A and B are shown apart, each in its own frame.
Chain A
């Protein structure tokens, strides 16, 4: 039992509470530094945990020292810590961008930001299904606040849709959890894995219903077709740092799908073996195509980037749906890349919007940008990253997914769809790039013709540059990162260690006979 496992939960919870209590007493600068320091702390914690679990150890934390299937358990394995690290790195740069003025709109931005991280970290670390629901609710409640932060009609309307559809999702989650509990009598993921494997064939029908309900919930969070329609307007209308932070929100759904796919419905699952993989692959490919078409049709830059998030979810889940170690490893590498790259794109879209004045981020000929050269350069690099063109990390991610697909019988589908949607993505980005930077037109009468040059562009672009630098680091360090991804995938596909680590009695003071009837 290692107390470090619960630290990524306690730190944001305590700092978030402190920020909430001190919202009238502390100055904005102090609150900003406190928030930033807490996120730095979370990065360090994630690195420390990564060192601890890097050799394949699975750390568990039994809250209140209750033994596993009855008590609440936190589990830190390679996948969970991997997600923690990506989340905290992303949050750091999103917060840096928010400090340029987004956080002035209301006193509650900083507490909500930390509570969002609390929910995210909890969702990655928890080892049972009901607490996954609770942490989903925590991160969603914080995200509702962040989404409508700053107000405005478009934001409130998109927020209302987001809230209602997620509340329906939460209800479905409870139905799924109740059905699983009624069927096998446990909600602990490790225990669930053992009990699903021993399910008699006559329970196949109810088990499939429960599993599919759960799939629908996670697909809704991940924005998998046909449950993706909430995403574009929500992400396009919210403020830039929040949209950047939300780049990880769809990945929470992908994480939950991957965890349940490998742990509960994996090789050993008896009558339900490979139940999720069969759904994820076709739905992922469909998501790719529809997302790319949406990006092509979008008439605002931020909406286009939101559709590119949908595209990335499609590729990610198609890779996870391959179900092989290579596929999952490629997916994990791509997950880090796409989270950082789309977040950078949301921040960059905000910089461009600020400079374009009346035209904002609409994809129409607009005023000439004062910093067109530098912003255009950034746009070019980010577009290369997101579209997955060589020589950047997006290309490596896509290449690995395709290489993993070549060993499977579905490869013609996978190759065709991924390359076709990649082409659509390139066309969409080339169109918006040329509209934003080359097609200059002065406004009609009444509108101010001059676009406002950003003061201190370098400072404003620092968070974007930081995220791009992380993508570059991902490219340079792709060897070690890929080794880790491969090891993570192998650990996921052999869940015996996970189950052992969670379910073995934790009796130090208690004799094993007493806790293990």
Chain B
């Protein structure tokens, strides 16, 4: 399970970084979203992966899941959700103000050829 989890985090991070380096705002937003998914899974795994154990301390139980990372993930999800909403609005505003959806505000020569093709 640990191998699968780290593989998923790795693939999501790699995809996120790749999309983040693209020129258009839409792929950048998608990249940010993938990165936050990756970090949420990573935070979740930082409390160790335990199956079928309650996240509560109980003297009668010998095994329990660390509840703190779950609380952290919840906070991180809320914050990243708000930030994604904000960055989408800002990207739309930039599209309106700058006339194109490029991150640096101008279509470079290569990118305009690509859109013509």
Interface residues of A (CB under 8 A from B): 130, 134, 137, 141, 144, 148, 151-153, 156-157, 159-161, 163-164, 167-168, 170-171, 174-175, 177-179, 181-182
Contact = CB atoms under 8 A, between A and B. Distances in A.
A168 B72 CA distance: 18
Contacts of B43: 174, 177-178, 181
A507 B6 CA distance: 41
A164 B69 contact: no
Contact of B42 (A156, A161, A175): A175
A168 B32 contact: yes
Nearest to A172: B39
A130 B42 CA distance: 15
Given A160-B91, A171-B32, A181-B43, 19 more contacts: A130-B75, A137-B83, A144-B86, A151-B97, A160-B25, A161-B103, A161-B104, A167-B83, A168-B35, A170-B79, A171-B36, A174-B39, A174-B43, A174-B76, A175-B42, A178-B39, A178-B72, A181-B72, A182-B46
A178 B69 contact: yes
B8 interface: no
B94 interface: yes
B46 A178 contact: yes
B17 to A, nearest CB: 9
B57 to A, nearest CB: 10
A164 B97 contact: no
A344 B23 CA distance: 36
B47 interface: yes
Contacts of A174: 39, 42-43, 76
Contacts of B97: 151-153, 156-157
Given A141-B83, A174-B76, A157 B104 contact: yes
Interface in B65-99: 68-69, 72, 75-76, 79-80, 82-83, 86-87, 90-91, 93-94, 97-98
A157 B105 contact: yes
A181 B46 contact: yes
A170 B83 contact: yes
B30 interface: no
Contact of B103 (A148, A164, A170, A178): A164
A236 to B, nearest CB: 15
Contacts of B47: 181-182
B87 A157 contact: no
Given A144-B90, A157-B105, A164-B87, A134 B32 contact: no
B35 A179 contact: no
26 contacts: A137-B79, A144-B86, A151-B97, A153-B98, A156-B94, A157-B94, A159-B90, A160-B25, A161-B103, A163-B86, A163-B87, A163-B90, A164-B32, A167-B32, A167-B87, A171-B36, A171-B38, A174-B42, A175-B39, A177-B72, A178-B39, A178-B43, A178-B69, A178-B72, A181-B43, A182-B45
A235 B71 CA distance: 35
A159 B91 CA distance: 10
Contacts of B93: 148, 156
A118 to B, nearest CB: 15
Nearest to B36: A171
B42 A178 contact: yes
A182 B39 CA distance: 13
Nearest to A181: B46
Nearest to A186: B68
Q: Which 4 A-B pairs rank lowest in CB-CB distance, beginning with the nearest? A: A182-B46, A178-B46, A157-B105, A178-B43
Nearest to B79: A137
Contacts of A148: 90, 93
A141 B68 contact: no
Given A134-B79, A153-B105, A160 B39 contact: no
A156 B69 contact: no
B79 A156 contact: no
Nearest to B29: A164
Contacts of A141: 82-83, 86
A163 B92 CA distance: 14
A513 B69 CA distance: 26
Contact of A130 (B32, B36, B72, B94): B72
A156 B20 CA distance: 19
Contact of A160 (B38, B69, B80, B90): B90
Contacts of A130: 72, 75
A160 B76 CA distance: 21
B32 to A, nearest CB: 5
Nearest to A183: B46
Contacts of A175: 39, 42
A71 to B, nearest CB: 11
A182 B43 CA distance: 8
Given A137-B79, A159-B90, A163-B87, A171 B35 contact: yes
B98 A157 contact: yes
A167 B19 CA distance: 14
B106 to A, nearest CB: 9
A219 to B, nearest CB: 19
Residue of A151, A153, A167, A182 contacting most chain B CB atoms (<10 Å): A167
Given A144-B86, A159-B90, A164 B46 contact: no
Contacts of B28: 164
Contacts of A157: 94, 97-98, 104-105
A454 B16 CA distance: 50
A266 to B, nearest CB: 24
B86 A181 contact: no
Contacts of B75: 130, 134
A181 B90 contact: no
A160 B69 CA distance: 31
Contacts of A177: 43, 72
Contacts of A144: 86, 90
